[in-house]
Structure 1
Amino acid sequence: MYLKGIEIKGFKSFLDKTSITFPKGMISIVGPNGSGKSNILDAIRWVLGEQSIKSLRGDKLEDVIFSGTQTRNALGYCEVTLILDNEDKKVDIDYTELSIKRKAYRSGESQFFINGKKCRLKDIKEILLDTGIGKEGYSIISQGRVDEIINSTGNQKRALLEEASGITKYRYKKEEGEKNLASATENLERINDIFIEIENQIKPLKLQKEKAEKYLQYSKELKVQEINKILKNEQELKKDIEKIQIQSSQIKDELSKNELELKNTNDTLSSTQDELDYITRKKEELNAEISENKSNLAKNSSEISIKNENIKNMLDTNELLKSQIDDADEELENIKQKYEHLKNEFDNTTHQKSDIANSITAHLEDKNNINAQINEISLNIRTYEQKTRDTENEIAKIETKIEFQKTNIDSFAQKFLEYEQEFKNHNDIIENLNSKLQEKNQKIDEINETLKSIEDKISKNEETLQKYQKENNLLLNKINENNLHIKDLTAKTNLLENLENDMQGFSKGVKFLLRNKDLTGIQNVVANVITVKKGYEKAIEQLLAGRLENIIIDKAHQSKDAIDYLKRENLGRATFLPLDTIKPSQFSYNDEGVKAIDVVEYDNKFANIISNLLGRMIIVDDMDTGLKISKKYSNSFKIATKTGEIFNIGGSITGGSSNFSKEIFTRRNTINQNKEDIAKLNQAVQNLKTEFENNKNSVDVLNQENEKNKYSLSSNKDVYISLQNETATLKTKLEHQQQMLENLNEERKTVEYTNKKATESYENDIQTLENLNQTQNEMNLKLTFQNEKLRQENEKLDKLQNSINELELKKSLIEQSLSNTKLQIDELSETIKSHSKKTEQSKNKITSNLSQIEKYKELINSIENANVDIQNKISENIEKLGKISSGEKEKSENLKKLREKKEQLLSSQNNINAQIIKIESEESKVNYKIQLLSESLEQSYSMSLQDAKAYEDKTIIISQNTIKTLKEQISALGNVNIDSIEEFAKVNERYIFYKSQKEDLEQSISKINSVIKSLEKSMIEDFKTNFEIINKNFDDIFKILFGGGSGRLILENEDDILNTNIDISVQPPGKKLRGISMLSGGEKALSAIALLFAIIARKPVPFCILDEIDAPLDDANIYRYISYLLTLIDTTQFVTITHRRGTMEASDYIYGVTMQEKGISDIVSLKLEDAKHYIEE
């Protein structure tokens, strides 16, 4: 495998699509600084998945996309494609060529492709595992990477060695396994929690289920026994009724003769009864008001109890907080003692550090004295060396000058002949240039006329476009305003619909009854069966008030189940309106206002209910009208204003503000009105959008026309500029030719003079060369003496430095100790602050609680005062009730007298009546017994006698003892949860499911642990084997590159091979063994190169890109570096980015990076001579 090429478009300075082909062998990329050489390396790193934009010398993703120049627009995206030859199947895919592509947009979106198919970055990393290619591999080495290898922590060196050892794929699989293990463990913990919860549920549920099954069995047997017993009793009673009815028929014939006499008395009784009914209704209204006040009184008492309980809880909390404060104060005192101890220890260690520092200072003074001696000697050496170099330079210059002068003298004669021919050539060129210049000027005048015409068209179109733009801005503002209004109305409507759906305004009990599908006969609440005309909502809401949530049911007896449900679930009380018992209530009214029943709409089946509720109520426009009507009719019926004020029967008046959640009809009408407004606004928005689109289409047409004009303008400008440039070029060439002609004449004169002077200088320089050679020999002797003296002083300096290093080590240990102690002191200080803060928070909480207690006490006093007012209202209504009752008593007495009169009239019929009464009594008793049987059946089994016929079984032996036994067995079961049968089935199903999931996860965790251990074993074995080989390679290559010495890699902890740090220890020839950080810049770079070559020698990488890593090397090291690199060229393709002549001379191919246009990089193939030119620059 090797790198075949790279395609770059829009990446950094590469604007246009740029393709670079990389043949096998060694390739060098050269160019001036800032031309974009390193952008090629950045492009390769980026396409291989580099996520850190800072590593690519940018701040954000869009920084890698071409940002434009003064003449070129920025691009919206960039893409890089890396093409690899895969003939040797190093990457396990079915293709002989592998292309990796990355594309990014300014929006931040980034895409990856493998052979043209979209993929994830993870897929690219996986396919390149253990190839050495990638972000963590060693296929890309820059100067910064060299510094990382040398100065980094052991973990970064480890990444290189692991890649070379081939264990990266194992580590990747191990990390994936550990992620899966963590996920599986987390899932197991979650499932264990659920499983334990289900396990705790299933045992009691099983017992409940078994009890419920027994209950159902006993209940079924009991039902059959009791139903058949009732049916048998009913049949016997019906036979008795048949006998009684025969006797009754005979006596009733006699009784009918006397009924006429009672007619007048009964008429009087009827009118008296009507008066008494009116008094009864009045009593009901007063009793309802008393009941409501008592309910409010109970609610307030409950609120007082809750607030008292809150006060008690807060007092208990304060006691607990005070106890916590005491404990915290005691703990804080212990921490402060420890803090003082550590402070003393810190001061003692500081004194030790000061003593060692004094010793170091003394040694450093000695070192400075020796360094002064060395500097003096070095200065002498540099002086002699400089003088030697100066002399050598002078000698070289003189020798070059002599050779140059000799050559010049020989060439002057030839030059005189050449001058004559050049004079003739220049005159011919000048005549040709003048002719071309005249043609170009004529074309420029024609282009100028065309440009003026196009610019006028563009200007007119721009004015029209601005007009459309203003109109569109206005339209958009209107659309946005309407959309905001729609959004506001929609939010309000949604809120109101949520209140409607949640039955806001209804009591808890009513909500539950409406939602309970098991209860039969429930139709709806009053509020939901009527629709109120607009403008009358408040009036109807206030007239009906609490009756809005009265529940309409089919039959009166069905209310029993609902009331039992309310009691059982503790859901409060509710009022039921049976359709079979409620009678209509109406009266004639032709005065101001309207009858309440006339402003509502309802289904005809609810007519009696609505008539009963609203039939005797009136709605007027305002309070003045209400006062007038109420007075006129002596407060005999209920009146409401449209704004919700109420004139009650008896004269009381109710008014004020109300809770919006109770305004049910207002809410519904508001919802409907809002939906109508939203529909109108949506239509308006649609009309505005249509107008906007029409304008936009006109804008598009103008823009297209402008684009054509601008393109034409640009094309003509390009032609104009081209002609201008050609004209300028021609003028420049003309001036140049004229100047050259003048120069040529001057040059000929100069050459004649120079020839004369060169001959004289040549003879003088020969004598100067002999004198300089004598001076050079004297300087060499002085330099040898000074170098020996310098060696002796350096030996003294090394011994002194060792002593200083030992003292610095002691000082470092003490500083570490001081740092640790300081850290503990800081931690204790933070702990003290934390304790103090918590104590302060507890005190604040106590203060807050005391303040809240006072507020609760004030609220309790307020509620108690309200209770006094409510109690007074109750007393007033009771007093009114007493007065009404006295009137009722009078009417009752009159009624009693009429009934006595009736009895007197009936005295003549005593004998007949006695017989009738006796017979009817007997019949009633029998019917009552049948009714009891029916009620018993209805109450126990919710069925009629007719329905019970389906259960009749004459073969069953009916036994009271059996019934008693079954009831005792049911009673012995206690509370039974019938739903537990279905609930147990569901929970048991979940139990089986989670048990299976738990077992699967436990097996999965076991398998993952086994795989991780297996991977770790393989990693240790492979890493250990390859580490030893790479270590040996490193030592061998180090000796080659340094011409001797040694180098080795050191594992800090060989018992933890996979995690331990890795250090580099080297010994250059003629120096002591030392850490790599003590080397010079060139030595560090060469050591890193030795390690890189050692890795490649063990595991060749398909290609290796080296970015100016040869920069710190001198010429001798460059030679050794290149020499060894060429030994690896058969297995690894090398691409170097360099400025060094030696590196380029060894290359098989050279690419140059230039910026012919500012800010835009171009690739050119270079000859070796051109590359040398770039080096010199």
Structure 2
Amino acid sequence: MFLKRLELYGFKTFSQKTEIDFTRGFLAVVGPNGSGKSNLTDAIRFCLGEHSVKAMRATKLEELVFAGSPTRKGAPYAEVTAIFDNSDSVLPLDLAEVAITRRLDASGDSKFFINRTACRLRDIHEMLMGSGVGPGSFSVLGGKEVDMVLSTDPKERRNMLEETAGVNRYKFRKREASRRLEKTAANLTRLYDILRELELQLEESEKQLERYRKYREAQVELKALELELAIQEWSRLQQSIEELRAKLAKAKAQVAELEELSEQARHALEAASLEKRRRDSERERLLAGCAELREKTSVTRANLDSLVKRRNELEHSALNAEARLASADQRMQDCEREFEAVLAALPEAAAELAASKEKLQQARLDREQLPLQGHSPHAQLRQRLAALEKEQHQGLGRRETLRARQEADDERILELIEKRETARKELMEAADESEMDSELVEQLQEAGTLTAQVEAEKKQLEQQLLEVQQQHRELERQRRPLVSKLAELEALLDDGSGLPPAVRAVLQWKDPGMMGLLGQLVKVPNGLEQAFEAALGGHVNDVITRDRRVASNLIDRLKQERIGRVTFWPLDLERMPPPPPQLPDRRGVVGLALELLGYPREIESVLGEMLGRTVIMEDMPTALQLYDRCRGRRPHLVTRQGEYLNPSGALTGGAARQNQSGLLSRRRLLDEARQQLQKQEIELQRCRDREERLLAERTQADQTLQAAREAFRALKGELADLEADGKRRNQDRERLQRGLDKAEEETKMLQQRSQAADLELDELEETLAKLSVKKAELEGQLTQFQEEEARLQTLREELQGRL
């Protein structure tokens, strides 16, 4: 084995990673002072676990880390790795090369590695022992250490040689083996002590084991009963679950059926609503057609009246024309007769012809000055009169049309007002129904709130019931060890376990003159059992008898059966009560033993003999102080922990064995167990009562919830029906509102048209009055012109006749 390579980083002057290879044989490192030659030996020592900082020429480990220079940055840590050639297996590792690494942080903490695996410094020392480079060897020596080796004493030189020869490894193993042997011997001693202690407790442990076996049998039987009870409960719950599942399936089927019926009713309602809307639109269209027909009928009626009047006027004109024609025929006949007369008078006329030519010329001039037929004022008046009559007839027709339309509008207005009132009534009824719907919604919300409250109360009751059941199970779980502990303690007291065999035998005889053990007759305050057990000592197992005869008989029987010895206290013997102890003060005093103890009045004299001068103290220091303050006859002093100070000054104390208790402690434990069990029984009974009350309340809540859910479902069904009716009513209300708005608009339009018609009628009446006046004037002028025309016609005819 030899050092093969050395790797350095951050160690002293090696700021950068540096690797130095070593070969077999002699190797010298030369250089000027301060070049770092000694740092190599320090690095090897550092890597091999050198503790002495002084040996590495430093004052503290942090100085071994390169701190930096003006041109180079300091290193975060110092690390040195020494790689050894282990081809000859000197080191106890199956490797050809072994790398030992030590890393030093800037904080001074070191970490060690073997082949880059973290390890302890102890592991490195154990590995290097016997190799010649282990701790205490002189494989690495400084310049001054050579003289020290040469001048050292023979003992240290021997250690060096042993380390070099590899003897220290075996010495270290020997020391380790000796240390382990010593530790094993101590453990064996301890085991012997434990074995002796266990042998002393073996008899009591066997009894406890027997009781434990009985307890385990009872536990097994209890678990079997609980399992059977749980199975019965599980069967009942399964049956309830099946019933609830059947009810749930039935309820789901009913819900599905009701939903299907509701869907069918909704479709039917929608179809009926569509049919009603179609019929309403058809009715509105027919009403609009009727109104249009009424208006056309009124116009036609007015035109018909105008035509009738025109026909009457034409008939009247025809009659007048016929009359004038008859008059013209008559005149024609007269003219013919006159013509005949003229022919008769022609000769006379020839004479007058010449004279008449001049008159004719004059007449022609006069005739030319007369207006032409058709261009006379009479014809113009007739034309104006005809136009005026036509205009009058048109005005009358328009007036009749307006009156007819106004009557129709009035009827329509009345119809619209009636329809509007009907719509308003229906809207009011719909509003009332909406209020009823709102009341139903409020009732549904109240029912939902009530259902939610009942469900919340039920959940709360179930949670409380679950908590009570858990509490019940917890109390049962706590009760079982109490029952077992109570049975164990009662068994201990009944069979006399822990009592001397002679006392146990006397108690089994059950002599009527025997009152019992002293420890069974007294009642010790809580916390003072150890004190009274120390004060009474072996008297706890003394037997109290009613007289000396019973005590003598029992002693004779003990002698005959060779059972043992027992101390008896006959009550018929006279005993002088000892004077009470005289205490200088009561500092640290709990009380006098007789004043603290509870006991029957019959055994007061016996207890006076035993505890008449016993004082219970808080602790031993206060007892010692009271002992020093007392003068004369000192009392017996006993502390709470059972330490005893005799009047002679003898001290008794120490620690009792574990799980070892006297009769008084067992009685206290028995009383405490009984009290705890009684409390548990009371708590269990309260828990059972509360569980029964919660079950009753849950049943009541289930009934209430069922009723509330049924009421909620009923209200929900009614609300669904009402919602369908509400949708229909909303549609009807919207339709009515639209119809009402349309009626309002139509009424306003009709009223405006009626007002316009009234204005137009007034204008027509005024125009017709003016036309009547103008017609009268024209008719007067026509009459005058007719008369003038008749005169002119006569004159024309005369002139024509003359011609």
TM-score by length of 1: 0.22
The higher relative CO (CA closer than 8 Å, separation ≥ 6) is in 1
TM-score by length of 2: 0.31
